[in-house]
Structure 1
């Protein structure tokens, strides 16, 4: 029996570029040296995308459940029986329906422990809405399925890691959705993830201000003085190395982010615009705080290029490898803690400090 990790993959919107980047990634035989991929979709839909994009001959090994997945093959579970009306580049009800069927089946296996991690191809947050999916996006859906109290949208790359306090909400609602408690919780999630998932021994986290120029000492707002700075001080006094608040424009403009292991932004675009500018091709969206591992590429459905063989699979490939690495790091960490308990050795680590501060 193979000891490779089983990585589940949901296909996203069937009218977008999800299956294109999936097939391009899995067409590289070297990928199969590192994991056993299981795609949740349908072979007919995959074949349609392969032909539309004029990709090299590629086929999936069809299985009924994750236990049947074969090593050294790209496996696929057919999640429905009927034919699907694909309209590449179009936003349709069909696109959302089958994206959800794929995600539901993959998530069920993830929660049950039948797969080791999940990589999600992009969905359309509008057409996927239904009686069983009333969420702003993947992050909130998976939070409910995992039962996690809080999660973090964590964009990661070799150059930069960025988390956000508020996610998919209107800009006009950002200020009223920021609190000292929320900032404290998000910094804790970043700190814990850096230690557990990325093995950063003593993380340094930069925290951005909300207002222009981080309020210019109260001239442009009071959130920095009343909410953000107290949150930073609360955790710094408990041993978590967090600093700020920094003015967002200057912080990224002078590359100050290179001095830190991660950055906490106050809202979606404040963090994601610089991240995608610096790491669009290889960036990964990771959901920290879940009791399982989920990653995705940092791009959307790509309707404008669907079916044109123009989609770059790099971000999806990076998301796949990130999932593998994070699972491995978590398991190594768990094994170290087990050995520590067995031997009775007490070794103070930053992981212990984090626990005390939480």
Structure 2
């Protein structure tokens, strides 16, 4: 009999749409046990406000699915009252505490994956907590030196060599050592977590036309091509560097298990155009499975039961598949 996977879900910013979306998930029948790490009273108030009928059950270690229309909740109290649509730095520490406890539960082996809702980085920093994002936070909490951000939608997976850094710093961040680490992480997790025996990794160049033989930049000649040649010599299946303005077409994508972009806005606009609201953020390299929605807090929709639950639903489904080695 297949073991029942247990998935931790963090709604994120309590004043945003995360709580609304989580409550909607209670109507689905999941092939896993879903446990929400959040303030149960805040969720109760949000359910009343949005008119959603959801039974919230205190999580005490049960190992069974919640009945349809119900959610298990690992209660973590907010530090201040929550008004939908109105950010408060007083709850910045609460948001981080939900992440800390969900991470610890996965590190301890009690859970098989964590799915994260949208947070507001600015308000967390206003609370006096240095926070650059879920990816970096989970890496620090798990003592993981290097992680890779992947966004996935139907027919396309995009991974990033660099993430949340200014464009002016990207060229200096693209080093042979960085590419070696990133591509090894991608190759390993595509094998272990996605079950792809021989991953095919397609790589973007950094410059227009992938440098055009050095006429539009030398990063490809001096750094990227030698790094990829070294990895190919180790047996990794790598194609590139290819120009970013041509790599995202069927000729290449039909063969690629992922496209590695050199920086955030090189690859993610294409991914989000193809599947916004249906994409999933996946962190590679962590010692546990982590997926996330591909959208922000949408403060203007909070408490109105108007937010589209598609991305959260996809993130939970992907986490379950990865936990069951079915991705």
Structure 2-normalised TM-score?
A: 0.92
Deviations 1:200-227 (A, max 9, x none): 1221111001111212221111111111
1:65-84 correspondence to structure 2 within 5 Å: 65=60, 67-68=61-62, 70-73=64-67, 74-80=71-77, 84=80
Of 184, 191, 207, 1:195 maps to 191
Equivalent residues of 2:40, 2:77 under 8 A apart: no
State yes or no: 1:47 paired with 2:44: yes
Deviations 1:64-89 (A, max 9, x none): x4x2454334200111276x422322
Gaps of 5+ in 2: none
1:245-264 correspondence to structure 2 within 5 Å: 245-252=241-248, 256-264=252-260
State yes or no: 1:308 paired with 2:304: yes
With over 3 angstroms needed to count, the CA separation of the structure-2 counterparts of 1:171 and 1:75, relative to structure 1, is same
Q: How many angstroms apart in 2 are the aligned matches of 1:38 and 1:156? A: 23
Deviations 1:304-335 (A, max 9, x none): 322222211111111111111112229x9xxx
State yes or no: 1:17 paired with 2:14: no
Match of 1:344 in 2: none
1:170-319 correspondence to structure 2 within 5 Å: 170-252=166-248, 256-319=252-315
Q: How many angstroms apart in 2 are the aligned matches of 1:154 and 1:80? A: 31
With over 3 angstroms needed to count, the CA separation of the structure-2 counterparts of 1:75 and 1:287, relative to structure 1, is same
Q: Secondary structure of 1:128's partner?
A: helix
Moved over 4 A (4+): 130-133
290-299 vs 110-119, greater mean Cα deviation: 110-119
Match of 1:120 in 2: 116
Question: Displacement, 1:159?
Answer: 1.1
Aligned residues between the structures: 324
Match of 1:342 in 2: none
Q: How many angstroms apart in 1 are the aligned matches of 2:128 and 2:260? A: 31
Deviations 1:29-79 (A, max 9, x none): x22xx1111111112211222233333x1121113x4x2454334200111
Equivalent residues of 1:133, 1:141 under 8 A apart: no
Q: How many angstroms apart in 1 are the aligned matches of 2:86 and 2:252? A: 41
Q: How many angstroms apart in 2 are the aligned matches of 1:24 and 1:320? A: 13
With over 3 angstroms needed to count, the CA separation of the structure-2 counterparts of 1:188 and 1:220, relative to structure 1, is same
Of 163, 166, 171, 2:159 maps to 163
Deviations 1:252-305 (A, max 9, x none): 256632321101000111121111111112211111111111111111111232
Deviations 1:128-156 (A, max 9, x none): 23788423101011111222221110112
Question: Displacement, 1:198?
Answer: 1.2
Question: Displacement, 1:173?
Answer: 1.1
Question: Displacement, 1:180?
Answer: 1.0
Q: How many angstroms apart in 2 are the aligned matches of 1:108 and 1:192? A: 23
Q: Secondary structure of 1:309's partner?
A: coil
Match of 1:7 in 2: 7
